[in-house]
Amino acid sequence: MTTSNYAAERETTEGKVFTVTGGDWDTVVSGTDPINDERIVVNMGPQHPSTHGVLRLILELEGETVREARSVIGYLHTGIEKNLEYRTWVQGSTFVTRMDYLSPLFNETAYALAVEKLLGITDDVTERASVIRVLMMELNRISSHLVWLATTGMELGAISIMLYGFREREYILDIFETITGLRMNHAYVRPGGVAQDVPDDAIVKIRNFLKMMPKKLKEYEDLLSGQPIWTERTKNVAVLDVTGCLALGVTGPVLRSAGLAWDLRKTMPYCGYETYEFDVPTHTDGDVWGRYLVRLAEIRESLKLVEQAVDRLAKRGPVMVSDKKVAWPAQLAIGVDGMGNSLEHVAKIMGQSMESLIHHFKLVTEGFRVPPGQVYVGIESPRGELGVHAVSDGGTRPYRVHYREPSFVNLQALPAMAEGGLIADVIAGGASLDPVMGGCDR
């Protein structure tokens, strides 16, 4: 007579319950327990701080291995694209800057380039305005990559780099405040040029930053690159090769970390990027480690671009197109209350010709008309190709503006990177995509 390894099962509200009295647990359960290989479904987010905002991941786990990953978006939807249809073309700058809140100047520049293309004034934009746009975008690229480095470090346990990354970003935001009046959401880049010229004290701050930042980058590398835990958590983790990137439409540092040197600043230049000297960093491993190295190298290339742009600002000139029917006033002077225009500037406008006063009034209240048509303009944001599809019906407001947002597109790659890996690597892989949910959901 054989002895049973377990007592007779009994039914409960939770299913069958066995009382094991001997033998190997795995052998016993695998043969009889109907829920042995049932998988666990875990919600990661939308409040989880490691999801870079309000991203929800539904993970189906077998042990610690991710068998299926699904991304759920939309928690930060703000209706910005729809709102643009109810504002003038110039007012649109105030809305689009709030989408990807880590790279607002890229949102503004892409929008301005699209409007200028519809107006047919692309070649009329002054050289100084284009140089300032390049300067501001590259500073913004550095600040965005610093946030990526800081938050990714924190998520993988490197608390110090979180503090250092945000410390250096503060310096850039101080420069932005000096130039635009705001740390973020600037509405500084406008159709036809930029809102106002770069003041001299900002040039001093930028040159000090150019001296300081290379040393800080070396410190980051000393802190992370030779650190065993950092390399273990990033090398061969969340691999996505170049074929996968192209199949999913992934662009930016993630694509370049897989070996393809695709950068719109080189392949489809805009704002005069073809006249600057810089390289496109690449890596071949296509993992989190490769994306880390590519972004650090991109910061160095952006520093080179900023230095060239600052040198070019020595040559003075206008920062807005000359057509007063399109040109938003670019010689603004702040009032004594720190807001609005100074009385002297208002008096200057009033003291000009009646025609200029009429143009100014119509531009502010009604806006300019844009000829019917549609255009697509793509630029290289810190996260990849940021494209604007703008449609005009001939009125003073956009008929439709749609953004090709890299955070939205790149998030498609998360299941391909996560499935088959460990749940801990979902954090590293998701962070390496650098999604910003304000841009993704907009």
DSSP 106-137: HHHHHHHHHHHHHHT-GGGS-HHHHHHHHHHH
Query: Are residues 283 and 137 located together in one domain of the fold?
Result: yes
284 C-beta neighbours (distance < 10 Å), count: 12
Residues 245 and 160 in one domain: yes
- Residue 3 confidence (pLDDT): 52
Query: Which carries the bigger pLDDT value, residue 240 or residue 44?
Result: 240
Residue 226, classed as helix, strand or coil, is: coil
Cα–Cα distance for residue pair 261/98, rounded to 1 Å: 29
| Look-up of token digits 């070396």 | 218
Distant-in-sequence, close-in-space partners of 217: CB < 8 Å, separation ≥ 6: 296, 299, 300
Instruction: Compute φ and ψ for 95, nearest 5 degrees.
Output: -85, -50
How far apart, in whole angstroms, are the C-alpha atoms of residue 121 and residue 326?
10
pLDDT band for position 167 (cuts 50, 70, 90): very high
Whether 121 and 25 share a structural domain: no
Contacts of 403 (CB under 8 A, 6+ apart): 81, 96, 99, 107, 110, 386, 387, 388, 389, 439, 442
Closest to 382 in 3D by CA, of 210, 263, 290, 221: 263
**pLDDT for the residue 6:** 47
- Could you tell me the sign of the dihedral formed by the alpha carbons of 286, 287, 288, 289, in that order? negative
The tokens for 187 are 């509405």
Q: Are 141 and 122 in contact (CB under 8 A)?
A: no
Beta carbons of 29 and 35 less than 8 angstroms apart = no
Q: From residue 298, give the alpha-carbon distance in Å to each of 119, 230, 270, 434.
A: 33, 20, 18, 14
- Per-residue pLDDT tens over the stretch 250-295: 999 999 999 899 999 999 999 999 999 999 999 998 899 999 999 9
100 within some domain: yes
CA gap 41, 59 in Å, rounded: 6
The pLDDT value recorded for residue 59 is 84
Dihedral angle at the C-alpha atoms of 404, 406, 412, 417, nearest 10 degrees?
160
- Residues 88, 27 share a domain: no
Q: Are residues 124 and 29 part of one domain?
A: no
Write phi, then psi, for 65 (nearest 5 degrees).
-95, 130
pLDDT bucket at 329, cuts 50 / 70 / 90: low
Angle value at C-alpha 29, between 27 and 34, nearest 5 degrees: 135
The count of other CB atoms within 10 Å of the CB of residue 245 is 25
Locate tokens 């016993």: which residue? 28
* Cα angle for residues 399, 402, 404 (degrees, 5° grid): 160
Residues 413, 291 share a domain: yes
Query: Taking the CB of residue 113, how many other CB atoms lie within 10 A of it?
Result: 23
Q: What is the pLDDT of residue 237?
A: 87
Query: Is 66 inside any structural domain?
Result: no
**Length of the chain counted residue by residue:** 442
Q: For the purposes of burial, counting CB atoms within 10 Å of the CB of 99, is it exposed (0-12), middle (13-18) or buried (19 or more)?
A: buried
The pLDDT of residue 363 is 80
Supply the range of the domain harboring residue 32.
1-38
- Same structural domain for residues 382 and 238? yes
Co-location of 23 and 116 in the same domain: no
Same domain, 17 and 136: no
Q: What is the mean pLDDT of the chain?
A: 85
Kindly state whether residue 362 falls inside one of the protein's structural domains.
no
Q: Which amino acid is at 335?
A: G
User: Residue 331 — pLDDT band, cuts 50, 70, 90?
Assistant: low
Residue 340 banded pLDDT, cuts 50, 70, 90: low
Reduced to 3 states (helix: H, G, I; strand: E, B; else coil), residue 374 is: strand
Angle at 260 between CA 256 and CA 266, to 5 degrees: 85
Same domain, 254 and 106: yes
Question: Is the residue at 353 inside a domain?
Answer: no
Query: Does residue 320 have a pLDDT over 60?
Result: yes
Report CA torsion sign: 90, 94, 97, 98: negative
Number of structural domains found in the chain: 2
Helices 423-433, 288-312: crossing angle, 10 deg rounding: 20
CATH code where residue 245 lies: 1.10.645.10
Q: Which residues pair with 391 in a beta bridge?
A: 374, 400
Average pLDDT value for residue range 59-71: 86
Q: pTM of this prediction?
A: 0.86
Residue 384 lies in a domain: yes
Which residues partner with 320 through β-bridges? 193
* 290 part of a folded domain: yes
Q: CA 351, CA 333: separation in Å to the nearest integer?
A: 16
Of 32-46, 52-66, 239-253, give the range with the top mean pLDDT.
239-253
Tell me, yes or no, whether 92 and 16 share the same domain.
Answer: no
Predicted confidence (pLDDT) per residue in 408-438, tens digit: 999 999 999 988 889 888 988 888 998 888 8
- The answer on 234 and 88 residing in a single domain is yes
What is the rounded radius of gyration, in angstroms, for the C-alpha atoms of the chain? Answer: 27
